């Protein structure tokens, strides 16, 4: 009998859900759009500032973990607890939560006690803001050489971090910060409120 996900240790979760990279799939955009529409059906438009497809699956041709990252930016006066409750009832599971300084909440969909489902999603909930993920995504979309370099970096990390998501993420951070700075210079305050 398989343990429930909520009963697993972090090591068991990392073993069940290893870092897997796959070539870019054209259907990622459709997966994102379907889920965006479901979110919009659940949450009042007055609560939504912006919804964006971020992460590697949002960049054509980039090798990626086959998980769609969605950034949901909420208006400051939104009832966050009610929104989280609606998402929970529609199949989103809680991953991580902090209260300060900008309300980061992470939810997921597509993780089962048997491993990954066919479609996997990560939903990053924050108050509306000028988020690095948007700049980094745009920079990779416009600079294929940097996107290819990023893909090579990710591939080089797999053998060491296949079963360590935090280590994998931390090992990419310096690269992401470096190119996000270039993106912010290039795009100015494109996403500033």
Task: State the Cα–Cα distance between residues 35 and 43, nearest whole angstrom.
Answer: 12
Write down all domains in the chain, each with its CATH number in brackets.
7-187 (3.30.460.10)
Q: Is the pLDDT of residue 51 over 70?
A: yes
Residue 160: strand, helix, or coil: helix
Average pLDDT over the chain reads 92
User: Of 127, 126, 128, 88, whose CA–CA distance to 108 is shortest?
Assistant: 88
pLDDT tens, position by position, 127-176: 999 999 999 999 999 999 999 999 999 999 999 999 999 999 999 999 99
Q: What is the structure's pLDDT at 6?
A: 83
* pLDDT tier, 44 (very low <50, low <70, confident <90, very high otherwise): very high
Q: What is the structure's pLDDT at 101?
A: 55
User: Of 34, 17, 25, whose CA–CA distance to 117 is shortest?
Assistant: 17
pTM of the predicted structure, to 2 decimals: 0.93
* pLDDT tier, 117 (very low <50, low <70, confident <90, very high otherwise): very high
pLDDT mean over 20-48: 97
Residue bearing tokens 């949450």: 43
Q: What is the structure's pLDDT at 55?
A: 97
* Size of the chain in residues: 193
User: Of 180, 75, 82, 80, whose CA–CA distance to 134 is shortest?
Assistant: 180
């Amino acid at each position: 009998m398989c343990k429930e996900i909520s009963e697993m240790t972090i090591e068991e979760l990392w073993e069940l859900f290893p870092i897997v990279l796959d070539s870019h799939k054209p259907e990622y955009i459709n997966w994102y759009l379907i889920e965006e529409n479901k979110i919009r059906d659940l949450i009042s438009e007055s609560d939504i500032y912006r919804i964006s497809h971020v992460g590697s699956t949002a960049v054509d041709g980039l090798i990626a973990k086959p998980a769609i990252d969605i950034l949901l930016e909420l208006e400051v006066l939104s009832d966050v607890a009610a929104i989280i409750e609606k998402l929970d009832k529609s199949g989103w599971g809680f991953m991580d939560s902090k209260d300060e300084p900008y309300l980061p909440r992470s939810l997921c969909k597509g993780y089962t006690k048997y491993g990954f489902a066919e479609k996997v999603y990560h939903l990053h909930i924050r108050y509306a803001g000028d988020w690095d993920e948007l700049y980094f995504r745009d920079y990779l979309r416009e600079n294929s050489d940097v996107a290819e370099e990023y893909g090579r970096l990710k591939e080089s990390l797999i053998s060491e971090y296949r079963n360590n998501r935090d280590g994998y993420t931390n090992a990419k951070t310096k690269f992401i910060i470096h190119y996000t700075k270039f993106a912010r210079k290039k795009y100015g305050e494109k996403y500033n409120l």
